Amino acid sequence: MLTTDEIDDVTERDPSPDVVIAADGLSLTFQTNDGEVHALKDVSLSIERGDFVSFIGPSGCGKTTFLRVLADLEKPTGGAITVNGVSPEEARKSRAYGYVFQAAGLYPWRTIAGNVRLPLEIMGYSKSEMAERVSKVMELVDLSGFEQKFPWQLSGGMQQRASIARALAFDADILLMDEPFGALDEIVRDHLNEQLLALWARTGKTIGFVTHSIPEAVYLSTKIVVMSPRPGRITDVIDSSLPKERPLGIRDTPEFLEIAHRVRDGLRAGHAYD
Amino acid sequence: MKLSFFPVLGVLGAIVVLWYLAVAPMNIRVALDVAERAGAEVVPKGSVVRRDVSVWRLMAQNSGHVAQGYALDRPRLPTPQQVGQELWKTTGKMVQRGRTWSKRSLIYHGWITLQSTFWGFLLGTSVGILGAVLITHLRVMELSLMPWAIISQTIPIVALAPMIIVLSSQVGIEERGVPKAIISAYLCYFPVLVGMVKGLRSPAPAQLDLLKTYNASQFQVFRLLRLPASVPYLFTTLKVGVAAALVGTIVGELPTGAISGLGARILIGDQFGTPLAIWSALFAAAILAGALVTLLDVAQRLVQRRMGGRT
């Protein structure tokens, strides 16, 4: 654990106060029976407050691993990473982020409101504040009226929205999402992408978003990180020139297609290695 | 519910039919002995001679006496009807006569057995659940406790039961119920332990990761995730456990020289050559087990409805 002085040191050393996540030469090597697997190799990246960053790449490129390192669910084996100027562990302990997994992972024995309330119960909020926050985020994800339903009574898309509400219920300013819409059909996915952008605009959170869909990455992001496998590394970082206001129709504009093209090129370049 | 009713009845019907059919060959020797003693003509003569003749041949040669096998006082295999009558005689009729707690009443013996089963079940499930909690949380416990739990089940309970009784009287426990409850718990704890270890470990890694991102304490993980996730396993396990506890109690009643309890009834029935008493005690035990399992099933439905089950 860092002492307060050390935290101050780290903050002071931080070049820009607006950098929320800074990775420098980050590596993670898993030891398996077949030898070493380089899940991440020499990954350097900085993410600023309010960014919507997508991580895209084929499976095994380390995009999920990077998110998990950020969330202190994996420990890096090399390099440095800070979240809000402190280590991921410190950030996790100060509840700096909400994490949305690929599967909604709602507790079947809790109602939707009960699931959204879960982090609040753990963090010891008062009863009245819990009720207030739950109703606020339920409205934010457009699930008002479903509080007393059980997860199996909701569609997959609604369940995923509930899991986003759960991640928003407490005051984490970073939202980490690991292929949250990967298991949903395209129509539901479009709808949720639109809602997610609106939500991002309203809350001003920093979002890390893992996907393997090029249109999804380009549509949502202010910054697209293209990754490639074996070893997992960054091949391109694209700052999106698209405006913040993005109707679904923007996906047919030349600017959109140009960025999508560059992402595709980056992905292809990564594959040329093997 | 309604659909499952017919298959159950069908199986029950088939068992009853097979049982009635089996009574004839099982009882033919006894029936012929009785008939011969009463002066009837029997082929071949003499009980000892008949011992070398197959039951099928005896039935063919003495077809007139086959029916007697269905109405013997001390049959090898009583008919379902005889068992039913004996059950009624030792339960309902006793109640009618105001002798519910008579030493001849199966309600009395069943109650004795039920009490020990209850204490054994309580002790066994407590030990099983506590052990499972320790095993899922402490690696040391998994390595040290689990092998002993498995070894404990390889020792035949029949061999262990007399020792438990001797030891408990050595430490000054005069109450017969105590060693019985311990034997019962010994059989009951293991399925509960194994089932609950599985149940407490059932949450997916992603669900544990989620709680980690909330910086939840180990106790919170246990209370909010592991425990509720184990509930379906808990009930399955309790149903197995309660049946095992009943068997354990009955086994505990066999070598104790006990004079009350269903196990004692079975032993006494054996010693006095009254198969009807054995069979009715067996059925009383089965009915008791069925009632206990049904009770837990109802509890399971109630709990799972509260926990958002689809039923």
Contact of A12 with A21, CB cutoff 8 Å: no
Q: pLDDT tens string for chain B (311 positions)?
A: 556 788 889 999 999 999 999 988 888 888 888 888 888 888 788 788 888 888 888 888 888 888 888 888 888 888 888 888 888 888 887 777 877 777 778 888 888 889 889 999 999 999 999 999 999 988 888 888 888 888 888 888 888 888 888 888 888 777 777 888 888 999 999 999 999 999 999 998 889 999 999 989 999 999 999 999 999 999 999 999 999 999 998 888 887 666 788 888 888 888 887 888 888 888 989 999 999 999 999 999 999 888 887 65
C-beta atoms surrounding A251 within 10 Å: 16
pLDDT (mean) for A61-65: 87
Question: Closest Cα of chain B to A150: distance in Å?
Answer: 6
Going along chain B from its start, the domains and CATH numbers come out as 2-76 (no CATH), 106-306 (1.10.3720.10)
pLDDT at A2: 46
Q: What is the DSSP string of A178-229?
A: ESTTTTS-HHHHHHHHHHHHHHHHHH--EEEEEES-HHHHHHH-SEEEEEET
Quick one: closest CA in A to B306, which residue? A109
Quick one: closest CA in A to B304, which residue? A109
Q: Helices B231-253 and B177-200, interaxial angle, to 10°?
A: 160
Question: Closest Cα of chain B to A173: distance in Å?
Answer: 13
Q: How far apart are CA B216 and CA A87, in angstroms?
A: 18
Alpha helices in chain A (DSSP H): 4-13, 63-70, 88-93, 112-123, 127-140, 156-168, 186-203, 214-220, 254-271
Contact of A223 with A53, CB cutoff 8 Å: yes
Q: How far apart are CA B238 and CA B195, in angstroms?
A: 9
A6 or A265: whose pLDDT is higher? A265
pLDDT at A272: 52
pLDDT at B273: 78
What the block records as the tokens of A270 is 């990564």
Q: Do A123 and B214 touch (CB under 8 A)?
A: yes
3-class secondary structure, B170: helix
Q: How far apart are CA B245 and CA A197, in angstroms?
A: 59
Q: What is the ipTM of this complex?
A: 0.82
Quick one: closest CA in B to A108, which residue? B308
A10 or A261: whose pLDDT is higher? A261
Say whether pLDDT at A1 is over 80: no
Task: Give the model confidence (pLDDT) of A79-115 as tens digits.
Answer: 889 888 888 898 888 888 889 988 888 999 999 999 9
Cα–Cα nearest to B293, from B232, B241, B231, B234: B241
pLDDT at A130: 92
> Which residues of chain B neighbour A148 with C-beta distances below 8 Å?
none
Q: Do B307 and A99 touch (CB under 8 A)?
A: no
Provide the CATH topology of domain A4-96+175-181+207-271.
Rossmann fold (3.40.50)
Long-range contacts of A179-188 (CB under 8 A, 24+ apart): A179/A64, A179/A102, A179/A210, A179/A211, A179/A212, A180/A100, A180/A101, A180/A102, A180/A209, A181/A211, A181/A216, A182/A102, A182/A211, A182/A212, A183/A102, A183/A103, A183/A156, A184/A156, A184/A157, A184/A160, A188/A155, A188/A156, A188/A157
pLDDT at A16: 53
A-interface mutation test, from B215, B222, B233, B302, most A Cβ less than 10 A away: B215
Q: How far apart are CA B17 and CA B5, in angstroms?
A: 18
pLDDT (mean) for A164-188: 86
Please, which residues have CB within 8 angstroms of residue B260's CB and are 6 or more apart in sequence?
B103, B108, B109, B112
Q: Which residue has the tokens 């047919």?
A: A252
> Which residues of chain A neighbour B210 with C-beta distances below 8 Å?
99, 101, 105
Q: Do A119 and B207 touch (CB under 8 A)?
A: no
Q: How far apart are CA B279 and CA B90, in angstroms?
A: 12
Q: How far apart are CA B221 and CA B212, in angstroms?
A: 9
| Residues in a beta bridge with A32 | A35
Helix (H) or strand (E) holding B123, with range, is helix B106-137
Quick one: closest CA in B to A175, which residue? B213
Q: Do A103 and B206 touch (CB under 8 A)?
A: yes
Q: How far apart are CA A230 and CA B79, in angstroms?
A: 75
Number of A–B residue contacts, CB under 8 Å: 53
Say whether pLDDT at A7 is over 50: no
B interface with A, Cβ–Cβ < 8 A, is: 204, 206-207, 209-216, 220, 224-225, 228-229, 231, 307-308, 310
Residue in B209, B220, B228 nearest the CB of A107: B228
Q: Do B308 and A111 touch (CB under 8 A)?
A: yes
pLDDT at A13: 46
Q: What is the DSSP letter of B190?
A: H
pLDDT at A9: 47
What percent of chain A lies above the pLDDT cut of 70?
92
Question: Closest Cα of chain B to A252: distance in Å?
Answer: 37
A109 Cβ under 8 Å from any chain B Cβ: yes
Give yes or no for a cis peptide into B275 (omega within 30° of 0): no
**Please, what is the average pLDDT of chain A?**
85
| Residues in a beta bridge with A24 | A80
> Which residues of chain A neighbour B229 with C-beta distances below 8 Å?
109
Contact of A169 with A116, CB cutoff 8 Å: yes
Q: Do A150 and B308 touch (CB under 8 A)?
A: yes
A98 Cβ under 8 Å from any chain B Cβ: yes
> Which residues of chain B neighbour A93 with C-beta distances below 8 Å?
215
Cα–Cα nearest to A108, from B131, B232, B152, B52: B232
Residues for chain B: how many in total?
A: 311
What the block records as the tokens of B221 is 């993980």
- Residue ranges per domain, chain A? 4-96+175-181+207-271, 97-171
A52-56/A206-211 β-pairing: parallel
A124-162 as b/e, with b when 16 or more CB fall inside 10 Å?
A: ebeeeebeebbeebbebbebeebbebbbeebeebbbbbb
pLDDT at B189: 92
pLDDT at A229: 84
pLDDT at B246: 92
